[in-house]
Structure 1
């Protein structure tokens, strides 16, 4: 069944813009596995003519032969199909010498498999591009999932393709407002839980959509040795890195709360000086990220797991694998609320804050044991907003206590250039929300988040 294709308007518009321009076009599309690159490409080429090639991780000669056969079919060239071509250079030279009266496409999906098995393909393509393809009617799109290989070989300044691509696009996850469209049977809260667990990865969301709700999905697909996600993070790491045990130890360390380089190294039993290459590699791939406090010291950076699937897996599955293998670990024995609280904070900063705090720079602040979940600064009018985020429901008394404490913590933040302060509370539910708003506080709950996701009106900062 063909599922609904949601969002990606910006990416589709960029691809169409490239298609309409004159001369040869060389587009590099990359992003993590399951992100929806193939579906985007399929939508882009719908109604157009050209060659779509799905590369495989196999010997170069087999790869050359398969693409050769596809070219022969497209051009109805039986002679090409009968030739014994041994190099990529021969294949792309043929393509460069073939005149095209109108725009056509050549799409190579999982291009990284070709680079991995024979890097000479890059030089062959560069030569053909420089001699003829740059002035042709070919629109060439190279798509790849192995991010390290793609950035090092196809995108770096040392690549033969450097300076020749006409567009490169890093495809990111869907935002929650679009991601929840792929979960029609989930309640709003269940859809948000799923987003906090698997992020906006289309293929993951489609897997979750097979279930009536969040609990059944997580129990069957994470806490089950035959579950779709039971080995997924290990597989993704194995596609990019060789020292799996080291990367897994680092991710486990960060997941359980060791966020400073020193404590991560101590947890893993390694020298802190040797830790940074691993952190940088995972940061580059979007698995983890380095966070700096807004309006704080730049030397206080900490690391958090950015990718939701990795975060959930290393929080709950990694340490329970033996019990899961023995089919002796029910999912309902796990308290997920602390995890939801942590991811909800990040969600509010990265997604929801864009709705109710337009024009603000958003982050968080911490110093010597004190922490503020959300700090937002708008330079044009010198305004600053301090916020607290809580996953659960709050009584009015609890909400007032949190806001009082927030005002006290804000006194420690240095923001001399900010003249106007406001205070914000975002939670699952807030009793007395309207009364707190009448007193000047910005207060939001899941009902407001749902309204924002459906285009409803919000009281703005």
Structure 2
């Protein structure tokens, strides 16, 4: 094992995966792919990997093929100590030299932002595949290079190993660098001792590591009381990098040709219109006309499509990056005044909107993540097959019951689906018996439909607490689970 540098927060699993790949004892070349949304720390990890193991790192930029070949040759020259850049004739020539670098030991050879190279030469994956095969096990393993390609363009990176792509079946490592889990993000920002502040902060910056230092220069809210001031002096301040980040995240995606349409789609979702028809109606399009933008945003990793837990064929869309939700719901409608430096005034009139349009839905997402990562001890034995929101029809009342956190067991053919838990989440409301009774009603309706609810936990998630009657009922009924903010953040 290669010790992880002390300045890398968390990422133990990712570091172990990268170093195991880069130091593997196999005699032949090995190939791996690293991907993930922007700002998650992929480049940071890979640069540290190259430094720790004496490897080669090259970060591509947008440019022509000739220019990129020249830059690649100059980077290789710096790595080998040559006083002049290598004048490669083409990429095959460059890769032949590239693979010859490691001689007596495994060495990571890293190409970051690989999609830029593919854009300049779409045949590059085929050339790379041929060069890997020439040095693979079937040809006697003539190179012990550990080649890693990396990129943030998820729509491009997702196709590199898919279907009939040239490099399919060649990768020994496929690592997706995700955002930090919400508890780790709270620790990273130094707010883990204040769960309310941690949850509100996560609703804006999520688990994206880059936002803490590079984008706000290390400015962190000191308490829940300082949260409003922090929002005004950072994300709503036109002088900070974070101010325009919500716009840039969309602009950086190469597959997006009409930004106005995509902003409108994201705005619709941020407003709570999370179904196909709701999005279409909000932006004034026919449902058939929004298939392409939805697919593109999903492919870019900016939108997530989630199935309804109990209604087959119904899906909801959720914005994957909290900062985009904040931008669409709070900043975009007020862009003129924000551009004039009126952030404090904008926040005063937008704070309630933040609680309803941003914080409420985000809290539900946090509760589903809690159930996934930390809630298994509450749900009895057996695995988890799915965690999602769901809708339960109540024919007698001619209404439907929304379940914010439905935890289902694995689906086995011929067996009733087990429901581990049904949960309701409220950020700013004290929860009482009526919320519990709604969950009990949903449980009974689902039992009548053939689900196994014999061990279903009924979970109330609240950011504001629970009244005395609900707490008393939880003490009497072991099936009732109350999750407040301290429990959500592992403090209870």
Same fold (TM over 0.5): yes
The match for 1:363 among 388, 405, 419 is: 388
Provide the residue aligned with 2:150 in structure 1: 143
The match for 2:221 among 212, 218, 222 is: 212
Distance 1:333 1:4, change over 3 A: farther
Provide the residue aligned with 1:224 in structure 2: 237
Per-residue CA deviations over 1:384-411 (Å, capped at 9, x if unaligned) read: 42222111252xxx52232223323443
Cα distance in 1, alignment partners of residues 460 and 282 from structure 2: 34
Structure 1 residues 49-448: aligned runs within 5 Å: 49-77=54-82, 81=84, 84-97=87-100, 100-132=103-135, 135=141, 136-152=143-159, 154-184=160-190, 187-206=194-213, 207=215, 209-213=218-222, 214-240=227-253, 241-294=256-309, 296-328=310-342, 329-334=345-350, 335=352, 336-338=354-356, 339-358=358-377, 359-360=383-384, 361-366=386-391, 367=393, 369-378=400-409, 382=418, 384-392=420-428, 394=430, 398-413=431-446, 414-428=449-463, 429-432=465-468, 435-440=472-477, 441-448=480-487
Q: Kindly state the Cα deviation for residue 248 of structure 1 after the two structures are TM-superposed.
A: 0.9
Give the RMSD, CA atoms, in angstroms: 2.6
Per-residue CA deviations over 1:93-152 (Å, capped at 9, x if unaligned) read: 223455612111211122222222222432332232222366211111111112222223
Cα distance in 2, alignment partners of residues 331 and 98 from structure 1: 55
Cα distance in 1, alignment partners of residues 418 and 401 from structure 2: 23
Cα distance in 2, alignment partners of residues 51 and 159 from structure 1: 26
Cα distance in 2, alignment partners of residues 33 and 354 from structure 1: 23
Gaps of 5+ in 2: 378-382, 394-398
- Size of the aligned set, in residue pairs, is 445
Q: Kindly state the Cα deviation for residue 346 of structure 1 after the two structures are TM-superposed.
A: 1.2
Distance 1:353 1:427, change over 3 A: farther
Report if the CA contact (8 A) 1:365-1:374 is conserved: yes
Q: TM-score, normalised by structure 1?
A: 0.88
Distance 1:98 1:199, change over 3 A: closer
Gaps of 5+ in 1: 457-461
Report if the CA contact (8 A) 2:371-2:407 is conserved: no
Q: TM-score, normalised by structure 2?
A: 0.83
Cα distance in 2, alignment partners of residues 411 and 70 from structure 1: 65
Report if the CA contact (8 A) 1:340-1:391 is conserved: yes
**DSSP 3-state at the match of 1:451:** coil
Cα distance in 2, alignment partners of residues 198 and 72 from structure 1: 39
Cα distance in 2, alignment partners of residues 218 and 297 from structure 1: 38
Bigger shift: 413-422 or 435-444?
413-422
**DSSP 3-state at the match of 2:404:** strand
Q: Kindly state the Cα deviation for residue 25 of structure 1 after the two structures are TM-superposed.
A: 1.3
Distance 1:163 1:425, change over 3 A: same
Q: Kindly state the Cα deviation for residue 34 of structure 1 after the two structures are TM-superposed.
A: 0.3
Per-residue CA deviations over 1:42-75 (Å, capped at 9, x if unaligned) read: 3333431221112222232222122212323333
